[in-house]
Amino acid sequence: MTEGGTNVKGRILVVDDDEAVGLVLGGLLEQDGHHVERASSGRDALARVVPASIDVILTDVRMPGMSGMELLTRVRAEHPEVPVVMLTAHGSVPLAVEAMRAGATDFLMKPFEREEVLRAIAKAMALVAHDDHAPASIAEGDRLLGESHAMQALRDRIARVAPTDATVLLRGETGTGKELAARGIHRESKRAGSPLVAVNCAALPENLLESELFGHVRGAFTGAVTNKPGRVELAQGGTLFLDEIGELSPPLQAKLLRLLQEREYQPVGSTSTRRADVRFLAATHQDLEARVRSGEFREDLYFRLAVVPVDVPALRERRSDIRVLARAFFVRARETHGRKEWRLEDDALDVLAAMPWPGNVRELLNAIERLLLLGDGPSLDARAVHRVLGSNDAASDLRSRVREAERAVLIEVLESTDNRAQAARVLGISRRTLYNKLEEYGLL
């Protein structure tokens, strides 16, 4: 394996109208162990990207007909799980910014070197392995969905902090939608007209991540044949979102601390210092305070990141939103898959609302799409949910019975007491817990 290569091999679609360039790129990727397909146009490429057929797309920018940028936009809309690496002979920082804002994983310039291409593909394959391109969506048109108390509190927190330049730490379980909350903060900020650039700190090994963040200069390492901007530079004037921040190694923690404190950084291999005009957002599913106590995470960095902590609630904390989310996901999925006449019946929503969803919103999103693809339509009812999602097992039945009994007890206690404070005392729970339960069961 070469320095720029990766142990993870994939199915790479090379898109270039220049047949010679396509053959060269395909040859070096095949030598590194990848399976390669070739397309000579954007339209040809789109036809080849069917579910689970392609892991990474490597495309030229300037092509007749559908350009590489147009192809990138279509892929991000129709196949968001597929990373796209852009390649051009007319490279510039503004064009790189445009590509990154549109969702490109990387941006290479011609003439390219073998190690540089393999390094970009290695990064893209790391993202595929980490499922980085399957974000949990809790929004409709990038608007947060849900009317539960927890979601109203989240929206209020975002509205308060967004207009400032304060660093925000988004905390929450995997699959709750922390990246979408970050997008909401950026959208409502004074930097909304500039890029929001995201980096998943868990998806890339340390040697790739440092260059990804800070960029590198020519000759910094094997394959660095040109100067290349990092995500900090690409986010200039805008927002840098550091996802899974708890995964940073100690050396990178120190470099990030300097960036946060001094707003300065150095590209890999450079001795010159650059200024960073960016707003920082970070996210984690880990207990960073515990990692600070164990010595795994720098305390000074933690305090720099957690200027304003924002908690993104788990789905179990806002169960009253499950029906709203399920309907929205279903409408979106039936549009995507050309099944506009299909319906999700009320009894199906009842079953979905009773399920535990330990994977949070991401699990619900995936389940709805699976239900649409594997269900016998056009009417999807409770039986379809049971059959496709396997929710009719003994454990699910028991959970449903427990929920029914809990709801009945709540109603009985509410009817036999004068107010909610008294009801909470009778039940032996806090008023906040009672409020959450009433909201969960639609009893408010």
Over residues 160-199, the pLDDT tens digits come to 999 999 999 999 998 899 999 999 999 999 999 888 888 8
Phi-psi region of 324 (alpha: psi -120 to 50; beta: other; left: phi over 0): alpha
For residue 3, what pLDDT is reported?
40
Q: Which one is predicted more confidently, 133 or 125?
A: 125
pLDDT per position as a tens digit, 88-122? 876 666 777 778 777 888 888 777 788 888 888 98
Say which residues have a Cβ less than 8 Å from residue 204's Cβ, sequence separation at least 6.
123, 126, 127, 212
pLDDT per position as a tens digit, 31-64? 989 999 999 999 999 888 876 688 899 999 888 8
DSSP class of residue 317 equals G
Q: pLDDT confidence of 151, banded at 50, 70, 90? A: very high
Residue 12 clears pLDDT 90, i.e. is over it: yes
Q: Which one is predicted more confidently, 417 or 136?
A: 417
Q: Which helix (H) or strand (E) holds 87?
A: strand 84-88
Residue 384 clears pLDDT 70, i.e. is over it: yes
Tokens representing residue 184 in the block = 């909401």
Residue 306 clears pLDDT 80, i.e. is over it: yes
- Cα–Cα nearest to 131, from 178, 185, 174, 77: 174
Task: Give the chain's mean pLDDT.
Answer: 85
Task: Decide if 371 contacts 380 (C-beta within 8 A).
Answer: yes
Tokens representing residue 73 in the block = 């936009």
The whole model's pTM is what? Answer: 0.73
Lowest mean pLDDT among 132-136, 209-213, 371-375: 132-136
Structural domains in the chain plus CATH codes: 11-130 (3.40.50.2300), 139-312 (3.40.50.300), 314-392 (1.10.8.60), 405-444 (1.10.10)
If you average pLDDT over residues 384-388, what whole number do you get?
A: 91
Residue 391 clears pLDDT 70, i.e. is over it: no
- The percent of residues in the chain predicted with pLDDT above 70, rounded, is 89
If you average pLDDT over residues 137-153, what whole number do you get?
A: 73
For residue 250, what pLDDT is reported?
92
Phi-psi region of 215 (alpha: psi -120 to 50; beta: other; left: phi over 0): left
If you average pLDDT over residues 327-349, what whole number do you get?
A: 90
For residue 10, what pLDDT is reported?
85
pLDDT per position as a tens digit, 282-303? 999 999 999 999 999 999 999 9
For residue 284, what pLDDT is reported?
95
Q: Which one is predicted more confidently, 51 or 344?
A: 344
